[in-house]
Structure 1
Amino acid sequence: MTTGTTALNDITDATAKAVRQDPANATVVFRAVGTPQGTVGSTITAGAHHIQVDEPPALGGADTAANPVEVYLGALISCQIVTYRFWAQRLAIAVDELSVEAEGDLDVRGFFGLDDRVRAGFQAVRVRVRISGPETAERYAELQAAVDAHCPVLDLTTGTTPVHTTLETV
């Protein structure tokens, strides 16, 4: 699946060169816009892509799509996969197969305001990475450490990201 020198390394090298030439090239702004759909669902537009989100019936939805926390788990999984692939190539670590799964524990008392001592978000998230290839366990542990240090969606959960909300009434 991956080897030491590939187009992903070329992307990293080109990015490093662009940032050296102008540090402003290091900042990328991503945007998404959401509109309500159905009782509690939404349609998210990110560039040319549309993501449907809904809730299961127990939370007022029709279960027509993944719910917001499942979308987060999907984002975490996909970011882990991308980060594993980039860093495997950067570290010249061969990977034959890779799969990632995640699950999280959510106490709905926080969301519904039934107990303000309970966080509204996940109380815990577990990620399981299955990887195979010709490398030693130590090399794959080195890869995991690099991924954990550089995965942007993991960082959103483990770090503190300032969020500023502006309410506009029209």
Structure 2
Amino acid sequence: MTTASATHLGSIIDATTAAVADNVANAHVVFRASGTPEYAVGSAIALGGYTVHVDEPQALGGENTAPNPVEFYLAALISCQVVTYRFWSERLGITFDDIAIDAEGDLDVRGFFGLDDDVRPGFTAVRVEVAVRGPESPERYRELQDAVDAHCPVLDLTKAPTPVETTLVIA
């Protein structure tokens, strides 16, 4: 991370800490997304001012025009890990020269297709590999990893149950 970006991140951390200390309601943020069908099994997802496209490979009925939902999950996990590593390296005063993160997940499609109700429809395992290079000791990088694993929001979505309420609106 460059000195300029570390300084900018440091001021954001300080400003957020102060805002939450002044009023804990400032800690609550709501993120939104909405989607509509596209192609055979794809979708267009509106995320703020952005639109992302989601599809499935041909073997799963799609046209392979975009990443599939579980690939987006892996992308969300990796991107959240990158942000969280950068945030916590700043907080802990741990420097690194480079970081690269890879993730892969195992999925048994029998669960999704309803071929075996004993097989879960989601990932049965996810593996994340973080390669970090820099001047710190291995112990310091393990300290950083522990902080990231304890505070990464997308990792938390997988590790801890999150209440989800689904409402069907029939027009």
Give a deviation string over 1:70-108, Cα, whole Å, max 9, x none.
000000000000000011111111110001010000000
1-structure distance, mates of 2:154, 2:103: 13
How many Å separate the matches in 1 of 2:111 and 2:99?
34
CA distance in 2 between counterparts of 1:22 and 1:91 reads 24
Q: Please name the residue that 1:42 is paired with.
A: 43
After TM superposition, give the deviation of residue 2 of structure 1 in Å. Answer: 5.2
Match of 1:101 in 2: 102
Query: What is the Cα-based RMSD across aligned positions, in Å?
Result: 1.2
SS state of the match for residue 6, structure 1? helix
1:2 and 1:89 in contact (8 A); partners too: no
Aligned equivalent of 1:66: 67
Describe the superposition over 1:38-87 as per-residue Cα deviations: whole angstroms up to 9, x where unpaired.
Answer: 00000000000111100000000010000000000000000000000011
Aligned counterpart, 1:138: 139
Q: In the alignment, which residue of structure 1 is the partner of 2:165?
A: 164
Alignment of 1:45-56 (within 5 A): 45-56=46-57
In the alignment, what sits opposite 2:125?
124
Identical amino acids, percent of aligned pairs: 65
Q: How many angstroms does 1:19 deviate by?
A: 1.1
Residue 125 of structure 2: SS of its match in structure 1?
Answer: strand
* 3-state SS, counterpart of residue 167 of structure 1: coil
For the residues of structure 2 that align with 1:162 and 1:150, how far apart are their CA atoms? 18
After superposition, what is the alpha-carbon deviation per residue over 1:120-168, rounded to whole angstroms, capped at 9, x for unaligned? 1000000000000000000000000000000000000001100001100
Whether the 8 Å CA contact 1:104–1:123 is kept in 2: the answer is: yes
SS of the aligned residue for 2:104 comes to strand
- The equivalent residue for 2:77 is 76
Q: CA deviation at 1:10?
A: 1.4
The code of the aligned residue for 2:70 comes to: V
Structure 1 distance, partners of 2:111, 2:92, is 41
Runs of at least 5 residues in structure 2 that lack an aligned partner in the other structure:
none
Gapped regions of structure 1 (runs ≥ 5): none
Scaled by the length of structure 1, the TM-score of the pair is: 0.97
Distance 1:16 1:39, change over 3 A: same
Could you list the structure 1 runs, at least 4 aligned residues long, displaced by more than 3 angstroms after superposition: none
Q: Is the 8 A contact 1:2 1:95 kept in 2?
A: no
Query: Would you say how many aligned residue pairs link Structure 1 and Structure 2?
Result: 170
Q: What does residue 155 of structure 2 align with?
A: 154
